[in-house]
């Protein structure tokens, strides 16, 4: 076995993934055996009737399906230190992970331990190895727009922060397979900086400092990348001046530790680089910043980020910035644990699938009934369907993911809906569809994030000839009127006339192809769709609002469908509405 710097080489990482997926059913049985045997005496499993059995059939018959709400009392006791014996896992819970909280406005507490870290690292190294085979990089730099989250100490003395922040703090977390070593352009002080705008500015400044050494560009979510390069459009004169001066502007970078670290990186005034970047910006600005990334970073090989779900909207803008550089979809995972690497990095992000790593958890899949060719997304579809194993799924079918993890989540319904697109060896390849609780529904209609995205994509065709684009959007099922109706919030890059916006509103209404929606609209059981056009910068206000509450910038995901419980975000959107249109499509 070839080892470099204490790590497996890339070809060995791929060989290990091939081995694990060749007989995924056997690997899954062993994974479940390990989890149950190691945790047989924890409070949650005692008295379930397993009696030492670790086989899948016994496990499914004795242990119930659960949601996070069912496990909250146990996790709360762990966080508070109220444990005289192990509650969920025999292995020490070293800290608490926090979900983003931007979906429902409430952050979930989740146990974190070394096993979760190990499985996450295996997913990262696997996907990096496959990426490096498709798009080889040399030793150099990676420009990462990543931000650690604030932490706090629970009553029981555990550090609580996001799972990604736990990873960033580890010395083992490096973008490497052992073949190459990509060092981040920004020092840790920037990643762990206290102010989001300051850290974003410093990431850009450090990226420019090493522009010819940057091999890859990445962020957790596509939104982070688009936001970063939109900021570059505004800030490039200041960035060039700081490069010329050899020190960051005090107005932009005020935190002493961050400022000192960036000054040490810049080292000295560099007027030649400042002039080069200024000439670059003058050129790409004329083409509306198209191809900015490869022009600014000439040796970059690809752009890597999460582009599924609510991030799909940003693919077009990201491709605009990336020019001819490949866009590579990042891995599939959640705060509860990593699930599947992207082992086909050359596939366009819109078609990205993820091959499940059978050692990261024990997986089950709840089959979802189909209605008119689409998955029925309401809870009634679970009354008859029994979960099946990882290798028992069928190509073309839809499922909800269920996980049993090494951190004490047993038969945990993740809430993610996926479609099986095929198999890699014997492990399924999954396409992420949507979150189960993120949907527009008033009557018998069921429209998830993907349906909303398709409706918006159809409507924006009316904007193309006007050189307008939807900067961002979200939606809401308004039940305050009778009948209830859909509300779609749009922020545009420029003003549009009322006739164009009315046609967009009508097209949005027609764009929801769900039979339940169309039938309800025709019988007036659902009212006309409402399009609300927002002030420019409104979604930035939503982001800043969540950041002010301590929500993590690295995990911010604007939900495409806002729940009624997320009233603070709705208040911001409603308070920044400048125009309102109602559909005439079904009059």
Per-residue pLDDT of 408-443, as tens digits, reads 999 999 988 899 999 999 999 999 887 766 678 887
- Cα–Cα distance measured from residue 9 to residue 180, given in angstroms and rounded to the nearest whole number: 9
Examine the domain organization and report whether 443 and 429 are in the same domain: no
Residue 377 has pLDDT above 50, yes or no: no
Phi, psi of 406 (to 5 degrees): -80, 0
Q: Tell whether 335 is covered by a domain.
A: no
- What pLDDT score was predicted for residue 180? 57
Residue 35 has pLDDT above 60, yes or no: yes
Average pLDDT over residues 121-134: 91
Examine the domain organization and report whether 426 and 573 are in the same domain: no
Examine the domain organization and report whether 187 and 320 are in the same domain: yes
Which residue, of 385, 418, 435, is where some domain finishes? 435
Residue-wise burial string across 293-322, b where 16 or more C-beta atoms lie within 10 A, e elsewhere: bbbbbeebbbbbbbbbbbbbbbbebbbbbb
Strand partners, 96: 111, 160
Which residue, of 280, 301, 325, is where some domain finishes? 325
Examine the domain organization and report whether 377 and 510 are in the same domain: no
Examine the domain organization and report whether 168 and 314 are in the same domain: yes
- What pLDDT score was predicted for residue 6? 46
Q: Tell whether 251 is covered by a domain.
A: yes
The distance from CA 364 to its chain's CA centroid, rounded to whole angstroms, is 22
3-state secondary structure of 40: coil
Q: Tell whether 371 is covered by a domain.
A: yes
Examine the domain organization and report whether 422 and 450 are in the same domain: no
Residue 468 has pLDDT above 80, yes or no: yes
159-168, 252-261, 376-385, 561-570: range with lowest mean pLDDT: 376-385
Q: What is the mean pLDDT of the chain?
A: 86
The distance from CA 79 to its chain's CA centroid, rounded to whole angstroms, is 25
pLDDT in tens, 517-574: 888 888 888 899 999 999 988 988 888 887 777 676 766 777 788 877 777 888 898 9
Q: Which domain holds residue 144?
A: 136-325
3-state secondary structure of 252: coil
Which residue, of 400, 435, 470, is where some domain finishes? 435
174-178, 508-512, 568-572: range with lowest mean pLDDT: 174-178
Contact in structure between 198 and 255 (CB atoms under 8 Å) = yes
Give the residue from 260, 133, 135, 279 showing the smallest Cα distance to 211. Answer: 279
Q: Tell whether 296 is covered by a domain.
A: yes
Examine the domain organization and report whether 491 and 529 are in the same domain: yes
Euclidean distance between the first and final Cα of the chain, in Å?
Answer: 70
- What pLDDT score was predicted for residue 207? 95
Examine the domain organization and report whether 414 and 455 are in the same domain: no
- Cα–Cα distance measured from residue 581 to residue 462, given in angstroms and rounded to the nearest whole number: 15
- What pLDDT score was predicted for residue 383? 42
- Cα–Cα distance measured from residue 529 to residue 489, given in angstroms and rounded to the nearest whole number: 11
108-122, 211-225, 324-338, 388-402: range with lowest mean pLDDT: 108-122
- What pLDDT score was predicted for residue 489? 93
- What pLDDT score was predicted for residue 441? 81
Q: Report the percentage of the chain scoring pLDDT > 90.
A: 46
Q: Report the percentage of the chain scoring pLDDT > 70.
A: 90
Residue 373 has pLDDT above 70, yes or no: no
Handedness of CA 196, 202, 204, 206 (dihedral sign): negative
1: confidence class by pLDDT, cuts 50, 70, 90: very low
Residue 32 has pLDDT above 70, yes or no: yes
Q: Tell whether 500 is covered by a domain.
A: yes
- What pLDDT score was predicted for residue 173? 60
- What pLDDT score was predicted for residue 424? 96
Examine the domain organization and report whether 225 and 200 are in the same domain: yes
What total of structural domains would you count in the chain? 3
- What pLDDT score was predicted for residue 529? 92
Q: Tell whether 461 is covered by a domain.
A: yes
pLDDT in tens, 279-307: 999 888 878 899 999 999 999 999 999 88
Examine the domain organization and report whether 183 and 271 are in the same domain: yes
Average pLDDT over residues 322-342: 91
Examine the domain organization and report whether 374 and 465 are in the same domain: no
- What pLDDT score was predicted for residue 5? 45
- Choice between 47 and 248, residue whose per-residue pLDDT is larger: 248
- Residue 194: DSSP 8-state: S
Examine the domain organization and report whether 307 and 205 are in the same domain: yes
24: confidence class by pLDDT, cuts 50, 70, 90: very high
The distance from CA 94 to its chain's CA centroid, rounded to whole angstroms, is 24
Q: Tell whether 129 is covered by a domain.
A: no
- Cα–Cα distance measured from residue 539 to residue 556, given in angstroms and rounded to the nearest whole number: 12
Contact in structure between 62 and 36 (CB atoms under 8 Å) = no
Q: Tell whether 475 is covered by a domain.
A: yes
- What pLDDT score was predicted for residue 103? 54
Give the residue from 436, 440, 434 showing the smallest Cα distance to 521. Answer: 440
- What pLDDT score was predicted for residue 585? 86
- What pLDDT score was predicted for residue 10? 82
């Amino acid at each position: 076995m070839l080892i470099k710097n204490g790590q497996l080489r890339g070809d060995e990482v791929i060989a290990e993934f091939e081995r694990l997926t060749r007989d995924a059913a056997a690997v899954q049985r062993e994974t479940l055996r390990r989890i149950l045997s190691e945790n047989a005496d924890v409070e949650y499993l005692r008295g379930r009737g397993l009696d030492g059995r670790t086989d899948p059939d016994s496990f499914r018959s004795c242990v119930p399906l659960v949601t996070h709400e069912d496990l909250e009392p146990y996790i709360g006791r762990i966080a508070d230190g109220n444990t005289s014996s192990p509650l969920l896992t025999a292995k020490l819970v070293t800290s608490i992970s926090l979900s983003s909280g931007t979906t429902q406005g409430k952050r979930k507490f989740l146990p974190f331990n070394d096993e979760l870290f190990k499985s996450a690292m295996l997913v990262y190294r696997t996907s990096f190895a496959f990426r490096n085979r498709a798009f080889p990089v040399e030793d150099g730099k990676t420009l990462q727009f990543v931000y650690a989250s604030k932490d706090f100490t629970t009553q029981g003395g555990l550090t609580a922060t996001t799972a990604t922040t736990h990873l960033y703090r580890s010395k083992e977390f490096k973008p490497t397979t052992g073949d190459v070593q990509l060092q981040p352009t920004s020092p840790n002080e920037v990643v762990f900086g206290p102010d989001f705008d300051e850290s974003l500015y410093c990431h850009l400044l450090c990226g420019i400092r090493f522009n010819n050494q940057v091999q890859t560009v990445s962020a957790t979510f596509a939104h982070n990348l688009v936001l970063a390069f939109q900021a570059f459009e505004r800030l490039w004169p200041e960035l060039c001046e700081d490069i010329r001066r050899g020190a960051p502007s005090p107005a932009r970078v005020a935190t002493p530790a961050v400022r000192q670290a960036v000054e040490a990186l810049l080292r000295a005034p560099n007027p030649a680089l400042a002039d080069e970047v200024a000439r670059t910006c003058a050129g790409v600005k004329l083409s509306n910043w198209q191809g900015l990334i490869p022009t600014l970073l000439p040796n970059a090989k690809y752009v890597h980020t999460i582009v599924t779900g609510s991030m799909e909207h940003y693919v077009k803008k990201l491709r605009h910035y990336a020019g001819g550089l490949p866009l590579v979809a990042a891995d599939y995972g959640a705060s509860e644990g990593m699930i599947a690497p992207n082992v086909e990095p050359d596939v366009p992000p819109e078609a990205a699938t993820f091959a499940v790593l059978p050692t990261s958890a024990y997986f089950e899949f709840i089959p979802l009934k189909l209605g008119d060719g689409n998955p029925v997304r309401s809870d009634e579809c679970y009354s008859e369907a029994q979960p099946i194993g990882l290798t028992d799924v069928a190509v073309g079918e839809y499922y909800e993911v269920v996980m049993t993890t090494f951190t004490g989540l047993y038969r945990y319904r993740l809430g993610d809906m996926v479609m099986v697109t095929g198999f890699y060896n014997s492990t399924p390849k999954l396409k992420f569809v949507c979150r189960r609780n993120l949907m527009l529904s008033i009557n018998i209609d069921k429209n998830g994030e993907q349906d909303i995205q398709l409706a918006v994509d159809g409507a924006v065709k009316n904007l193309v000839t006007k050189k307008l684009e939807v900067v961002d959007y979200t939606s809401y099922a308004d039940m305050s009127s009778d009948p209830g109706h859909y509300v779609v919030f749009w922020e545009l890059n420029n003003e549009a006339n009322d006739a164009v916006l009315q046609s967009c509103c009508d097209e949005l209404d027609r764009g929801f192809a769900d039979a339940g929606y169309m039938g309800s609209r025709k019988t007036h059981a659902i009212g006309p769709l409402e399009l609300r056009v927002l002030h420019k910068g409104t979604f930035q206000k939503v982001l800043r609002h969540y950041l002010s509450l301590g929500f993590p910038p690295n995990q911010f995901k604007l939900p495409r469908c806002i729940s009624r419980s997320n009233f603070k975000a709705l208040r911001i959107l409603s308070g920044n509405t400048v125009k309102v249109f109602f559909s005439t499509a079904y009059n």
